[in-house]
Amino acid sequence: MKKIGFIGLGIMGKPMSKNLIKAGYQLIVGNHNQETAKELEALGAEIGLTPKEISEKSDVVITMLPNSPHVKEVVFGAEGLIEGAHEGLIYVDMSSIAPAASQEIYKVLEEKGVDMLDAPVSGGEPKAIDGTISVMVGGKQDVFEQVKEVLQAMAESVVHVGAIGAGNVTKLANQVIVALNIAAVSEAFVLAQKAGVNPESVYQAIRGGLAGSTVLDAKAPMMLERNFKPGFRMDLHIKDLTNVLETSHELGAPTPLTSVALEMMYALKADGHGLEDHSSLLKYYEKLANVEVTR
């Protein structure tokens, strides 16, 4: 049984690491979030003081961090993961970062003999808790096969999508589709409310047709209940869409709808909604129409 290092015990990382423990894996976790680290220690995990120590003691190291700079700091910073690199170590970055950053980190680690996969996830906190997230993996096929069972302990769907960086390209595509779906649902509900038609009735009428989607079923009830407790924070979606635009500009692949959605999210952040669930994109449209969506 592989020993797994896990760094990044936030909204997603905490339940993901718990699912690894439930699956019988021996974990050594980072101590940046000390309260959560102690909680996992009580479940049987070991606490590592530095990324270096964690990588020295692990067969596989997983990171689940906010963005590219945080990943680079853990890998290359003082007492970083790279300092504890050893033969046979596999590094799996499950953070959602820029594909170019994944490729940059991979090249340096490859020189040290460390295999790397970029394996961002989709599904938000509820699916992280129940172990049904989707994982999109970039990297060498043979390396993927070595850790596939580890990933399946946290996920319902684990798909190898290509070479290093392909995982994060896939995640960016996912985030474009999710953001634009949420914007469309918000726009439609505000239109219905303004017209005097119950948005919940609209939801029930359309969810079984072509307009139905996983996004609609996940976010419409939250909007109708005005429950904007974050399963996925607006700030994090802003980060992802910023990475989309950066990548699209580098590739020459224009993303005009994404740029509009990003500006709407930035407007909400300026209004103090950055820490809310991304379903609060509804509030942008409500403000424009001077109406509040209700059941």
Give me the amino acid identity at 233: R
User: Sign of the CA dihedral 1, 131, 49, 67?
Assistant: positive
- Residue 10 token pair: 């936030």
Among residues 14, 52, 171, 239, the one annotated as catalytic is 171
Distances (CA, A) of 148 to 17, 250, 290: 15, 31, 49
- Residue 295 three-state SS: coil
Q: How many Å from the N-terminal Cα to the C-terminal Cα in the chain?
A: 50
User: Quick check: 62 and 92 in contact, CB under 8 A?
Assistant: yes
Contacts of 144 (CB under 8 A, 6+ apart): 117, 137, 160
Contact 190, 291 (CB under 8 A): yes
β-bridge pairing 3-7 and 60-63:
parallel
Q: What is the DSSP letter of 48?
A: P
- Please confirm, yes or no, whether 14 is among the known catalytic residues: no
Q: Is 61 helix (H, G, I), strand (E, B) or coil?
A: strand
Contact 207, 188 (CB under 8 A): no
Give yes or no for a contact between 240 and 171, defined as CB atoms under 8 angstroms apart. yes
Handedness of CA 263, 268, 274, 276 (dihedral sign): negative
Catalytic residues: 171
